[in-house]
Amino acid sequence: MTELAKIRRIWPIRPNPSAARPDDAGADRGGRHDAGADDPRPHDAGLDDAALLTGYGRPARPVLRMNFVSSADGAVELAGYSAGLSSAADRRVFELLRMLADAVVVAAGTLRTEGYGPFRLAEPGQAWRRANGLPEHPTLVVVSGSARLDPAAPVFTAAPVRPVLLTRADAAVPPGLDDVADVLRHGTGTVDLAAGLAALRDRGLDQLLCEGGPQLFGTLTGADLVDELCLTVSPVLAGPGAGRITAGPPSPPRAMALRQVLTGDDGSLLLHYARARGHAERD
């Protein structure tokens, strides 16, 4: 069995009833005390799958959750690929978020650049979904304004679940593409993402995970459609040149509420934010 990447929780700390309080004999004058056998700090032990699931979960309401990785100085890629910034802890959360999603949304450019193949979960993820009344695999949703995609690509022909193409009403869809994917047309000139996401939810795809790229993230942010952000910060300085996790024209800032902070053995931080407007709704 493959050993799970160790992930620890930094925040929020779950209170430990047996831990010493600042007025206990073991505390120093500053209110600090040593973490020993009698004070098992929650972030000292790695999180098992159940604890990790509890931290992310499937919200009761429809949610669009973004998942990105960046360097410590804000770069979205190394040598042209996001995989260069990833880690074992990041990949563990990456797979968990896919397992929790009804659909995974990705821009066509990211699909090509990152080399997406047929969208399949590993057997443990399939088993969890079966046990929770979900299809074995999430639906892949490709966003493309031009619809210039190859219908013979394995991402379509070998998909375990029929993919969805979200494109413009006036896009010229290549012959044969509608044989291997459901084509949803929304918007003229540009893809109407709000209408497209509503159409996905009409299909029962309420829990949406978007894996990029930056242009799509920027457009979704500008349209005020993003509910959550899962961001892994890699302990790397990429230096000048690479873009950010969002791209596109400026848009108003949106306040986010911090849900949790996790860390991997490599020093990466796994941050989980939710829109401030929805923070209280989930608590």
Cα–Cα dist 207/64, whole Å? 6
**Residue 151's pLDDT is what?**
98
DSSP labels, 64-77: EEEEEEEETT--S-
**Residue 276's pLDDT is what?**
85
pTM (whole model) above 0.85: yes
Cα–Cα dist 115/117, whole Å? 6
DSSP labels, the chain: -PPPPPEEEEESPPP-TTSPPTTSTT--TTS-----TT---GGGSPP-HHHHHHHH---SS-EEEEEEEEETT--S-BTTBGGGG--HHHHHHHHHHHHH-SEEEEEHHHHHHTT--S----HHHHHHHHHTT--SSPEEEEE-SS----TTSHHHHT-SS--EEEE-TT--PPTTHHHHSEEEE--SSS--HHHHHHHHHHTT--EEEE---HHHHHHHHHTT---EEEEEEES----TT---S--SS------EEEEEEEEETTS-EEEEEEEHHHHHHH-
**Residue 45's pLDDT is what?**
66
Cα–Cα dist 235/85, whole Å? 9
How many Å separate Cα 117 from the centre of its chain? 18
Peptide linkage before 12 cis (omega within 30 of 0): yes
Residue among 91, 7, 89 nearest 44 (CA): 7
Please report the domains of the chain, with CATH numbers, ordered by start residue.
49-235+258-282 (3.40.430.10)
**Residue 4's pLDDT is what?**
82
Backbone angles phi, psi at 26, to 5 degrees: -80, -5
pLDDT, one tens digit for every residue, the chain (283 residues): 467 899 999 988 654 433 333 333 333 333 333 333 333 344 456 999 999 999 999 999 999 999 999 999 999 988 878 888 999 999 999 999 999 999 999 999 999 999 999 999 999 999 999 999 999 999 999 999 999 999 999 999 999 999 999 999 999 999 999 999 999 999 999 999 999 999 999 999 999 999 999 999 999 999 999 999 999 999 999 999 889 999 999 999 999 999 999 999 999 999 999 998 644 443 3
Q: Which residues pair with 143 in a beta bridge?
A: 107, 166
